[in-house]
Homo-oligomer: A and B are copies of this chain.
């Protein structure tokens, strides 16, 4: 498989995550420096936490100026052309869903290469995809969005589990990867389209 394909989706995901971070900062009226930092943290926070946890240092973005450049450019474009960028909300949602899928698989791959157990690898994938948003929310003094019923991390967990199951079939790793990513993207799209949410199973039990 041509991995430049995955790389391109990786960059699209990074852009979508950076835009989401920049917008969150702008809504809170942070200064331009704050906007840049929030774009950064949202885009690389998950991968950074994963790298720190598994000891893969210097963490990825320190060794790859490309990522930093893309995020910086995205942050400034969002800063100056915010109103214009907002018109692409649907495109950005799609990028975000793609990013979610790709980041999950990238994170899982790192865990599998270190021979970590399957459940742990799913956790690493989910951390890679979701914890940038968690750090963004913590910095902005919000309770993290993903803890509030939206189907987001759950999509990563399902897609990640599917990937591990597919590995036991005869399918090539490339196809497994593509299928798992598309599954995550589809779950996100369906959840958004039909406003699906996680149940609050415990509501009447406390």
Contacts and interface: CB of A to CB of B under 8 A. Distances in A.
Interface residues of A, number: 64
A137 to B, nearest CB: 9
Interface string A36-50: 011000000000100
A143 interface: yes
Contacts of A32: 198-202
A125 to B, nearest CB: 13
DSSP class of A's interface residues: helix, strand, loop or mixed?
A: helix
Given A62-B53, A117-B65, A147 B25 contact: yes
Interface of A: 25-35, 37-38, 48, 52-55, 57-59, 61-63, 65, 68-69, 79-83, 111, 114, 116-117, 119-120, 123-124, 134, 138-144, 146-150, 153-154, 197-203, 205-206
